[in-house]
Structure formats: structure tokens, C-alpha cells
Amino acid sequence: MESTLLFIGNIGMGELFLLLLILGIPGILWIWAVVDLLSSKFANRTEKLIWLIVIAFLPFIGAILYLIIGRRQKIKPSNNWDQL
């Protein structure tokens, strides 16, 4: 039995692993950055819009920059337990 995937054009397991590594990790980082950005609150809408544009036009680099720098710009939710 041959270990090639005929429906993907004779790609072997090594090539498939490399393809998933090259496309999968940046894709996961991009999705993580977009979901985190859209579910977060910022001080103003302009910061959020700028990060959305950066992530959209520079997918891999923009996602990494947002995850390193942009997440610090989010508004932290207040802890209501301190007021009790």
C-alpha cells in the first residue's frame, strides 16, 4: 500500500506534514488574533479598527504583533468582588 494521498495530487505524508506546518500554525494564530480582537473592548474604536486593519492586511505578522502588543491595550474587566 502506497502512502500517498491521491486526492491531493500524490502528496506524501512528509509533504502533507510540512504543508500543514507552514499553513496551519499561521492560520491558527490569525484566527486566535481575530477572535480575541473582536471579543475584546478597547478604550476607543479607533485602536480596535487599526488592529483589525493590521491583522487583515499583514496576516501572519499582524497576528503576532497583535498577540504581543495589542492585547496589552485592551480594557481589563473590573472585578466586582472588590466592591463587596
How far apart, in Å, do the first and last CA atoms of the chain sit? 68
pLDDT of residue 4: 47
Q: How confident is the model at residue 1 (pLDDT cuts 50, 70, 90)?
A: very low
State the maximum Cα–Cα separation within the chain, in Å, rounded to a whole number.
Answer: 68
9-45 pLDDT tens trace: 677 788 888 888 888 888 999 999 999 999 999 888 9
Distance from C-alpha of 60 to C-alpha of 4, rounded to nearest angstrom: 30
pTM exceeding the 0.85 threshold for the entire prediction: no
